[in-house]
Each structure stands twice: as structure tokens, then as C-alpha cells.
Structure 1
Amino acid sequence: MDMILKGGRVITASDSFIADVAVKDGKIVAIGKELSDTADKVVDVTGKYVLPGAIDAHTHMAMPFGGTVSSDSYLSGTRAAVCGGVTTIFDYPVQHKGETILGLCGSKDEVLKEEACCDYAFHCCITDLNDGDILNEMEQAVEKGITSFKCFLVYKKEGMMVDDGTLARLLLRAKELGAMINVHAENPDLIDLRTEQFLREGKTSAWYHYLSRPEFVEAEADKRVVHLASHLDTPVYIVHMADEEGLEACIEAKKKGHDIYVETCPQYLEFTCDVYKREDGRNFVCSPPMKGQASQDALWRAIKAGLIDTVATDHCPFQSYEKDWGKDDFTKIPNGCAGVENLYPYMLSAANEGKLSFEKVVELCATNVAKIFGCTDKGSIAVGKDADLVVYDPEKEFTISASNMHSDCDHTIWEGKKLHGYPVQTYLRGQLVYDNGEFVGTPGIGRYIKRAKYSKK
């Protein structure tokens, strides 16, 4: 054997127990008590927890948006990921008119082969059907393991939005191919209407970013997506759920047996719209924005009840000077925040505080993601799975600061957040890539994940 993690508490989505975990050739080969010490490396993790690496199903690395490019390259973004216990990311390449799925993802893959510090997969954002060519190409993409695609119901002026008819065609085509459609659901016409009104009235602070797209603006689109998918009998995955009313529509559809999957993000679980009243409120601008306390409470209730499927980050950071472009006009603030390094530590700290179980965190941040998106070798600690392992010290006190993060972004919305418990090591396919605050991996170690087709869970 290459390595044994000895004496830790193994956490799965359904159980926790004291055991050794043995690794050979990047795979978990044995789990049990008092495994033989005849391994090249034995790591005593007594008193620590051993968890599967998290899978962040929602990142935007090196993404052109808002007149700039998100501040984390694939190297710095994936470096930050493993330093927070995330061993696989899903990135969202955005197709523009004339571009193909395979051409776009292939160009990203060429960069990631050189830079990736964790494993990776793609959800390709489809913005134009190219006279139907994209519908045909989706079959080739699925065969190459790209089994999910994204639609924006917003960003009409930016040329990224799809209309309801295009969404319906994509939902039906994805079902036919064994793929999943992910949807960013907000109503662009209501956003434009409200934005124009606020600008006319001279209401330009970050607070009006929230008021331009409050709860009901997101909820209308959530309900529309659920309505379409339910009547077309297709699966759908709604990203970054932030509002109570839309969430309730998803829950009702779930209870009727429809394949509706819901993702939320740590920022919606921690912050409310009140952050937009702060002096640095522009740093929190993302879409959809953080909502009111009632929505946050509803998200936590749904997590505890097993009605939210995944927690991901929508990692899309911009430098503070870029956020400052909108200091006097919220429409000029690039939308997005950093989070990939904070996902697992935040959720695990919440478990340490008793808000939910550690098993539930593994389910939300690893196991469910792997099941929904066909990552057959990922997401759990079991014999035959990739040895993507995180050693977590439940007693370690940690305060988040831009100075101790591994992103290239110069600030973090999590500045000053105190966490009880923190990851101390991350292993990617059995190789140590993060050790007690330091990245110790090698850029290019990450591999493309060819995923299985979707089947109803």
C-alpha cells in the first residue's frame, strides 16, 4: 500500500466511525480497524475526521464578465479549492454565438491540463443554438463526459440569456441524451424595469442592486423553470437558490415526484441583504443577491429537512478596484464573490456548531454532487473510489482573512469570520496537495473527469 490514514473518524453521508483508510495507486483499497502498517507512508490522524474531498459544482474561473475577467485563473482558483478541501470543481465555460461546445470546453481543457491543482469537469453554458447545430453536438459532448449544460434566464443585454422556447428544447434534448440542464433563474425584464427606475431616481448604491432583483424577481423565474420541467417531465438543476418562494415551489414539485434539484451557496446561508447597506456593500454584489432573513431561514430549514440537494459556491471573484467601478452606480459593479476555499470549512464549522450533522455536510458538498452529475469515482469514502480525502481538525480555531486564503483575489466577503474546526490536509487521488495552511501540490496535477450519463436517483 502507498499510504494509510490511521485512527481517524471517517465521515460518510450516512455514518461515522473510527477506522484506518488505505490507499494504493490513487484509490481507496481498504477501510477498517488496525490495518497493517506495511505502507510506504502512515499518517496518524487520531482525533481528526477523515472526509471525502468536496466537489464544488459551481465555479467561474478566468471568466470574462462585467468588462473584466474574474480574478482567479484556473491555477489560483483550483489552488484555493484544494486548500479548502475541494478536490473537484465544475467550471462554467460560456458559449457565444458561433462557438461549439467541444471547441469551447477543449480550449479550457488545454489551460487546465497545465494549471489545475484539483480535478475538474465542465457544465457548458449554452447561449445560442447555432441554427440547431448545438442540439446535435450535445450528443457528442455527452459521449465525451460533458453531461450537463447551463442556461441563463438573465443577462439579456449581454447576449447570454435564452428564451423559454430554447430552454424547453434544451430540457427535452438533455433528457433524451441522459444529460442535465442547470438554470440561473431570475426575470430579466423585471430587473431592467426596476434598474431603470432606480437610476432615474438617482438611487445608485449597492442596496439598489438587491432591490433591482429582490425575492419575487428570482421566485418568478424559479417557478417558471419548475413549471416547464414538471410538465415536460424533464430533470432540472436550479443553481444558487436564494429565495423562499422559489424554494417552496421546488419543494412542492419534489414532493410530487418531479426531478427538481436545488443548489444553494454559503453566502446565502451566512449573509442577508443587509450587507448591501454596508460601506463595502459593493464587494457582496452577486446575482442573485443575498435576500432577507425569511429566505435565509427557509434555506436552513430545507437543508435540515433534506430538501436542498447541494451546496456550491458560484465562485466568481473580482478585485476590489474593479468592484469600486460601481461605487456610485451599482450597475457597474462586476457580479460575483470568492468562495471555493470557504465552502467546506464553513459548512463543517456549522456542523461543529450543531446546525446540521457532519454526515449531512458530506452529503451536500460531496456525495449528492457526485451522484447527480455522474462522478462515479468521487464523492465518498469507499473501496474503489478515488482517494480524494480531507483530514479535518474539529478543534482548530480559524479566522478567515484575505491574507490566509490562497486565491488571487485581494479581498474576501468572509473577512473576520471565525470557524471552529478547519481542514489540515487535503489529498487528491492519494497525493498530498495541502498541508497545514500551505499548498504543497503541483499545478497540472488535476485531471478532467469524464462523467456518466444522468439517471434518476
Structure 2
Amino acid sequence: MDLIIKNGTVVTATDTVKADVAIRDGKIVAMGADLPLDGAKVVDAAGKLVLPGAIDVHTHLAMPFGGTTSADGYLAGTRAAACGGVTTVFDYPMQRKGMTIKQVIDSKKAICEKEACIDYAYHCIITDLNDGAILDEMESAVASGITSFKCFFVYKKEGMMVDDGVFARLLLKAKEVGAMLNLHAENPDLIDYNVEKFLAEGKTSAWYHYLSRPEYVEAEADKRAVHWAKHLEAPLYLVHMADKEGLEAAIEAKKENSNIYIETCPQYLEFTSEVYKRDDGRNFVCSPPIKGQESQDALWKAIKNGGIDVVATDHCPFQSHEKDWGINDFTKIPNGCAGIENLYPYMLSAANQGKLSYNQVVALCASNPAKIFGCADKGSIAVGKDADIVIYDPSVDFTISVDNMHSDYDHTIWEGIQVKGYPVQTYSRGRLVYDHGDFVGEPGWGNFVKREKRPTK
């Protein structure tokens, strides 16, 4: 054995047991009571929880957007992830007209091989079919381990939106080749109408970012996407769900055995649209925007009853001076917020305070993402799995601040938020990468996760 984690309480999506965990060559090789030490290094986890590392399946690292690039590149983003108990990240590289999927992915892999501190995977954003060549390439992409793709119902002017016809073709092709299609669902025409109206009226504060794309604007697109996925019998993953009406429509479709999966994000669970009335409201600008209390309540209800499958972050932070571009014009605010280091601590704190169970948190942040996106070696504490392990101390009181995070941004929407309990160690394939507040890993340690394709009919 290389390492034995002793005396801890192991938490999976289904079980909570007192057990030791033995690790060799980056894999979990044994679990049980009083395992033989065999010269292994011993970590005493008495009084602590032993959890699978979280999988953040929604990040935008080094992403060009709004005239700048997101503040966390692959080194900073994966470093911060490790320090928050995330052991695998999924990024969203973007295909543009004339580019192949392979070109897009290979360009990002070349960076991650040097910079990634934990394991990584990709969903490729499709913005143009290149006269059908992209559809033809999707099968070979799946064979190479890229088994999910994303498209936008928004950002028409930026050349990123797909129409319903392209969306349907992508859904059908994904079903055919064993892939998943992810979608950002909002209605672009209503957004453009509202933005034009508010600017003409001189209504330019961050509050009008929310009012330009309120609940019903997202809900219409959610319902439309669910309609096509249901009738085409194709799998669909709705990213960053934030509104009550769309959420309820998606849950109803799930009840009809549709292959529809729902993701939400911590910012929608913690904050409401009232933040956009604050003096620093521009810092909270993301899309879809944070919604009202009724939507937040619906999200928490769905978290508790299993209607939501995944909690991920949509991590896409920008520097404060870049957010300040929109002090007098909300359309100039780069869209995105930090969250990659806060995901697991926030959700585990909710469990610690009785909002849901630790098992549910593991399901939402680790095992469900692994199952949905074909990460066979990830997502659970079990023999044969990668030794991606977080040791969590439920007794620690922790206050989030930009000063104790490990990213490259200069502010965070989570400033001053208090959580009960906190990760004290993170292991990536058996290697200690975070230890009691300090990052102790190294750039380039992370491996590309080649994923299994979905069953095809």
C-alpha cells in the first residue's frame, strides 16, 4: 500500500460507513476495518468525513468573453478547484466557424498538459456546423473521449447562437453517436428587445441586466428545449438552471422517462436578484442572471427531492476593473462569477446545517456528474476507483474571502459568506494536492479524462 486513510467516516451517494481506505498506484484497492498497514503512509481521519472528490462539470477557464478573458486560466482554476475539494474539472472550449472539434480540443489539451493541477475533461461548444462537417466529426470525437457538446440559444450577435434546426440536428446526432448535448437556454429575441428598450430609457444599472432576462425569458427556452429533446427522444443536459417555471417543466419531462438532466449552480442557491440593486451589483452579473426568491425556493426544493441532478459552478470570474466597465452600462459588464473553490464547501455546509444529507451532496457534486458524463473511474469511494479523495472536517468554521482563495481574481461574490465545515485535505489519484489551507500539488499533474460514450438506441 502507498497510503491508508484510517478512522474516518466514508460517505458515498448511498452509504455512510466507518472504514479505512487503502490506496496504491493512484487507485483505491481496499476498504474495511483495521486494514494491514504494509508500510503505507497513514493519515488519521478520526472525526472527519472521507468523501469522493467533487467533479465540477461547468467551468470557463481562460475564456475570451466581453472584450477580455476570464481571470482564471487552467493553472489558477485547477489549483483553486483542488483547494476546494474538486478533483476533476470540465471546461467548455469553443468551436468557431471553420474550426474542427479536434482543433479546438487539442489546443486546450496542449495547455492543460502543462498547467492542470487536477484531472480535466471537456465539453466542446458548437457554434457552427461547418456545412455539416461537425456532425460528421462528432462520432470520432466521442471515440476520443469527448462525449458531450454544448450549444447556446443566446449570444446571437456574438455569433455563438444556434437556431432550433441546428439544435435538433445536434440532438439527433448526439443520440446516434452516444453523446450528450448541453444547452444554455434563454430567449435571445426577448433579451435583445429588453436591452434596447432599457438603454433607450437610460436604465443602465446592473438591476436591468436581471430585468432584461428575467424568469420567463429563461423559462421559454427551457420549455422549448425540453419539447424538442422529448419528442426527438434525445438526451439533453440543461446547464445552470435558475428559474422556477423552466425547472418544473424539465422535472415533468424527467418523470416521463425522458433523458433530461438538470444542473444548477451555488450562486442561484445562495443569492437572489436583489443583489443587482447593490452598489457592487455588477460583480454578480452572470447569465442567466440570479433570479427571485420564488425561483430560489424551487431550486432548493428540487435539490432536496432529487429533481436536480448536478450542482456545478459556471466558474467564469473577471477582475473588478473589468466588471467596472459596466458601471454606467450593464451591457458592458463581462458575464460571470467565481465559484470553483466554493462549490463543495458550500454544499457540504448546507448538509452540515441539515438542509440536505451528505449523501445527497456527494450525489449532486460527484457521483451523478461521473455517471451522466461517463467518468467510469470517478465519483465514488469504492475499490477500483481513482483515489480522488477529500477529507472534510465538519467542525471547522470558515469565512470565505478573496484573501483565502487560491484563484487569480481580485474579488469574489462569496466574500464574507460563512460555511460550517471545510475540506482539510484533497488527494488527486492518491497524491496530496491540498493540505490545511495550502496548495501542495503541481501544474501538469492533471490527466485528461477519456470518457465512456452513452448507450445508443
The normalised TM-score by structure 2 is 0.99
CA distance in 2, matches of 1:265, 1:95: 24
CA distance in 2, matches of 1:63, 1:379: 26
Equivalent in the alignment of 1:212: 212
User: Following TM superposition, by how much is the alpha carbon of 1:111 offset from its aligned partner in structure 2, in angstroms?
Assistant: 0.2
Q: Deviations over 1:277-309 (max 9, x none)?
A: 000000000000000000000000011110100
Q: Which runs of 4+ in 1 moved over 4 A?
A: none
Q: Deviations over 1:64-106 (max 9, x none)?
A: 0000000001000000000000000000001111111011100
CA distance in 2, matches of 1:455, 1:320: 44
CA distance in 2, matches of 1:368, 1:40: 31
Q: Deviations over 1:246-278 (max 9, x none)?
A: 001001101111111000000000000000000
Matches within 5 A, 1:52-63: 52-63=52-63
User: Following TM superposition, by how much is the alpha carbon of 1:39 offset from its aligned partner in structure 2, in angstroms?
Assistant: 3.5
Equivalent in the alignment of 1:224: 224
Matches within 5 A, 1:174-323: 174-323=174-323
Equivalent in the alignment of 1:404: 404
3-state SS of paired residue (2:136): helix
Which consecutive residues of structure 2, in runs of 5 or more, have no partner in the other structure?
none
Aligned AA for 2:111?
V
Q: Deviations over 1:408-429 (max 9, x none)?
A: 0000000000011000000000
User: Following TM superposition, by how much is the alpha carbon of 1:36 offset from its aligned partner in structure 2, in angstroms?
Assistant: 1.1
CA distance in 2, matches of 1:102, 1:7: 46
Equivalent in the alignment of 1:339: 339
Aligned AA for 1:32?
G
RMSD of Structure 2 on Structure 1 (CA): 0.9
Identity among equivalent pairs (%) = 73
User: Following TM superposition, by how much is the alpha carbon of 1:169 offset from its aligned partner in structure 2, in angstroms?
Assistant: 0.1
Q: Deviations over 1:12-68 (max 9, x none)?
A: 000101110000000000010111122331001100100000000000000000000
CA distance in 1, matches of 2:109, 2:294: 41
CA contact (8 A) 1:315 1:337 kept: yes
3-state SS of paired residue (2:210): helix
User: Following TM superposition, by how much is the alpha carbon of 1:370 offset from its aligned partner in structure 2, in angstroms?
Assistant: 0.3
CA distance in 1, matches of 2:70, 2:362: 28
Equivalent in the alignment of 2:380: 380
Equivalent in the alignment of 1:125: 125
CA distance in 2, matches of 1:63, 1:100: 18
CA distance in 1, matches of 2:381, 2:400: 28
CA distance in 1, matches of 2:57, 2:78: 13
CA distance in 2, matches of 1:378, 1:256: 29
Aligned AA for 1:82?
A
Equivalent in the alignment of 1:141: 141
CA distance in 2, matches of 1:402, 1:39: 40
Q: Deviations over 1:212-237 (max 9, x none)?
A: 00000000000000000000010100
User: Following TM superposition, by how much is the alpha carbon of 1:455 offset from its aligned partner in structure 2, in angstroms?
Assistant: 3.2
CA distance in 2, matches of 1:97, 1:69: 20
CA distance in 2, matches of 1:131, 1:251: 35
3-state SS of paired residue (1:234): coil
CA distance in 2, matches of 1:419, 1:455: 40
Q: Deviations over 1:377-410 (max 9, x none)?
A: 0000000000000000000110000000000000
Aligned AA for 1:61?
L
3-state SS of paired residue (2:193): helix
CA distance in 1, matches of 2:208, 2:118: 37
CA distance in 2, matches of 1:248, 1:307: 9
Aligned AA for 2:379?
G
User: Following TM superposition, by how much is the alpha carbon of 1:454 offset from its aligned partner in structure 2, in angstroms?
Assistant: 1.4
Aligned AA for 1:96?
R
CA distance in 2, matches of 1:243, 1:37: 51
3-state SS of paired residue (1:413): coil
Equivalent in the alignment of 1:13: 13
Q: Deviations over 1:96-121 (max 9, x none)?
A: 11111011100000000000001000
